[in-house]
């Protein structure tokens, strides 16, 4: 079973107008002091999960490429000193292309990072300006070239369905994105989140029909270029799926370190949601089942019912109303067999509705009394 450590670094150089991730812009960051606290948290969680083998570490943000390579190395070596480490561990870090340091990517590689995820977001000057990014297209391309030279496992993030984005311009962008040569791509539709600058300015993303066209075109072009569409927004060349993100979607355990990081731990047959600082809340099997449905249906391969039972202790086919499963199958939104349930291509377009239908038609109360 996969087991990961997520380390959240909540600082950024500036706040992007669309972003509702927990991040702060501040001049003086007591980096060493914060990392010392993270190290204490890592040791605390290792005591709770001693017998597990770490299969992935993910430095997310905020902007973890602002962490010094020395501190990254300290965090990785603390993890290695406190758990068994898988021989093919994936250690990812999200980086922004707006670095001043010419040696940033080789320094990150030397500090132990073996998978780099670059936040390019757009390959057009207008797109970057609209998204309030502080890097230029040239910065993005220079950083991409370095990342591809230095790392053998790499990914890039892009945001689409911007207002007025049309199928022709996105088609051209997709061809350029694919020609860059990243092993993994994350393509996110712009969402307007409450409290962001975009929400305050009442910015609207591309309309729903255009967004669907852009999404379908992304799947078509990336598939032609050999990327497997393995999760709603994620595409990978064979063997390059993100192990760490996949563990969230599969419902495996992970430790979360940092002010807004959360974790999921399965200890002595109990499930816990953990939050900063070392808070643990027990989840019922039903709450855990809901999460597994919510996350698992994002994967193209869907939910394996045997793994579902091992993870939350409940039998999927006894938990969900057979009528709703039949109705969703007849509408060709899901494929449901005795081993797996997964969304079809049409189902992916209405995934939230499918998840809501499944969760609202859970027979948990009846199930408990069987």
Ligand X SMILES: C[S@@+](CC[C@H](N)C(=O)[O-])C[C@H]1O[C@@H](n2cnc3c(N)ncnc32)[C@H](O)[C@@H]1O
Residue 123 Cβ, how far from ligand SF4 at the closest point, in Å?
A: 17
Distances (CA, A) of 167 to 159, 223, 235: 14, 17, 20
Give the Cα separation of 309 and 339 in Å (integer). 11
Strands 279-283 and 263-267: unpaired
Provide the token pair at 163.
């207002």
Q: Which is nearer to ligand X, 63 or 250 (CB)?
A: 63
Q: Which is nearer to ligand X, 132 or 309 (CB)?
A: 132
Handedness of CA 34, 38, 39, 40 (dihedral sign): positive
Q: Show the site string, 211-240: x = touches ligand X by CB under 6 A, - = not.
A: ------------------------------
Residue 347 Cβ, how far from ligand SF4 at the closest point, in Å?
A: 29
Q: Which is nearer to ligand X, 71 or 362 (CB)?
A: 71
> Is residue 188 at the binding interface for ligand X, with CB under 6 A as the rule?
yes
Q: Show the site string, 42-81: x = touches ligand X by CB under 6 A, - = not.
A: ------------------xx-x------------------
Distances (CA, A) of 183 to 115, 207, 337, 349: 10, 30, 31, 25
Residue in the block written with tokens 């991409």: 144
Tell me which H or E stretch contains 343: strand 340-343
Instruction: Provide CB contacts within 8 A for 199, sequence distance 6+.
Output: 192, 193
95: β partners: 118
Residue 211 Cβ, how far from ligand X at the closest point, in Å?
A: 11
> Is residue 6 at the binding interface for ligand X, with CB under 6 A as the rule?
no
Binding ligand X by CB under 6 A: which of 57, 76, 148, 190?
Answer: 190
348 contacts which partner out of ligand SF4, ligand X, none, CB within 5 to 8 A by kind?
A: none
Residue 191 Cβ, how far from ligand SF4 at the closest point, in Å?
A: 12
Binding ligand X by CB under 6 A: which of 35, 42, 147, 159?
Answer: 159
188 contacts which partner out of ligand X, ligand SF4, none, CB within 5 to 8 A by kind?
A: ligand X
Q: Per CB under 6 A, which of residues 241..280 are in contact with ligand X?
A: none
Binding ligand X by CB under 6 A: which of 112, 119, 258, 347?
Answer: 119
15 contacts which partner out of ligand X, ligand SF4, none, CB within 5 to 8 A by kind?
A: ligand SF4
By CB under 6 A, the count of residues binding ligand X is 16
CA 257 to chain centre: 16
Among candidate residues 27, 88, 96, 87, the one with its CA nearest the CA of residue 60: 96
Give the Cα separation of 150 and 116 in Å (integer). 9
- DSSP symbols for 103-146: THHHHHHHTT--EEEEEEE-SSHHHHHHTT-SS-HHHHHHHHHH
Residues that bind ligand SF4 (CB under 6 A): 12, 15-16, 19, 21, 23, 61-63, 96, 119
Strands 334-336 and 303-304: unpaired
> Is residue 157 at the binding interface for ligand X, with CB under 6 A as the rule?
yes
Residue 113 Cβ, how far from ligand X at the closest point, in Å?
A: 14
> Is residue 203 at the binding interface for ligand X, with CB under 6 A as the rule?
no
Cβ atoms of 297 and 355 closer than 8 Å: yes
Provide the token pair at 28.
């003086």
Residue 62 Cβ, how far from ligand SF4 at the closest point, in Å?
A: 5
Task: With both helix axes pointing from N to C terminus, report the angle between 285-296 and 305-312 in degrees, rounded to the nearest 10.
Answer: 150
Stretch that binds ligand X, among 72-80, 186-194, 210-218, 274-282 (CB under 6 A): 186-194
Q: Which is nearer to ligand X, 57 or 190 (CB)?
A: 190
Binding ligand X by CB under 6 A: which of 71, 99, 121, 143?
Answer: 121
Q: Where do contacts with ligand X occur on this chain (CB under 6 A)?
A: 18-19, 21, 60-61, 63, 94, 96, 119, 121, 157, 159, 188, 190-191, 193
């Amino acid at each position: 079973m996969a087991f990961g450590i997520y380390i959240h670094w909540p600082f950024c150089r500036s706040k992007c107008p669309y972003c509702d991730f927990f991040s702060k812009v501040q001049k003086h960051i007591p980096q060493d002091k914060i990392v010392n606290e993270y190290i204490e948290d890592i040791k605390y969680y290792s005591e709770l999960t001693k017998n597990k083998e770490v299969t992935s570490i993910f430095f997310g943000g905020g902007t973890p490429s602002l962490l010094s390579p020395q501190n990254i190395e300290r965090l990785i070596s603390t993890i290695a000193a406190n758990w068994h480490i898988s021989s093919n561990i994936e250690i990812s870090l999200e980086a922004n292309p707006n670095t001043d340091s010419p040696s940033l990517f080789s320094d990150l590689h030397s500090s132990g990072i073996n998978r780099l995820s670059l936040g390019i977001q757009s390959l057009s000057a207008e797109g970057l300006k609209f998204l309030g990014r502080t890097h230029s297209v040239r910065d993005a391309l220079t950083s991409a070239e370095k990342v591809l030279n230095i790392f053998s496992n790499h990914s890039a993030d892009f945001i689409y369905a911007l207002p007025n984005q049309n199928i022709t311009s996105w088609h051209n962008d997709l061809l350029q994105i694919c020609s860059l040569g990243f092993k993994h791509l994350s393509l996110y539709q712009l969402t307007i989140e409450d409290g962001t600058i975009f929400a305050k300015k009442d910015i609207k993303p591309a309309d729903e029909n255009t967004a669907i066209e852009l999404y379908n075109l992304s799947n078509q072009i990336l598939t032609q270029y050999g990327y497997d569409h393995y999760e709603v927004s994620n595409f990978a060349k064979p063997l390059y799926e993100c192990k760490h993100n996949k563990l969230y979607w599969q419902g495996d355990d992970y430790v979360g370190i940092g002010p807004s990081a959360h974790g999921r731990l399965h200890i002595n047959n109990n499930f816990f949601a953990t939050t900063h600082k070392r808070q643990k809340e027990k989840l019922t099997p039903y709450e855990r089942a809901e999460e597994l449905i919510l996350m698992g249906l994002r994967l193209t391969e869907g939910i394996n019912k045997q793994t579902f039972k091992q993870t939350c202790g409940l039998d999927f086919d006894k938990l969900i109303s057979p009528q709703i499963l039949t109705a969703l199958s007849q509408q060709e939104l899901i494929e449901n067999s005795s081993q797996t349930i997964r969304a079809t291509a049409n189902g992916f377009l209405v995934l939230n509705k499918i998840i809501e239908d499944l969760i609202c038609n859970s027979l948990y109360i009846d199930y408990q009394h069987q």
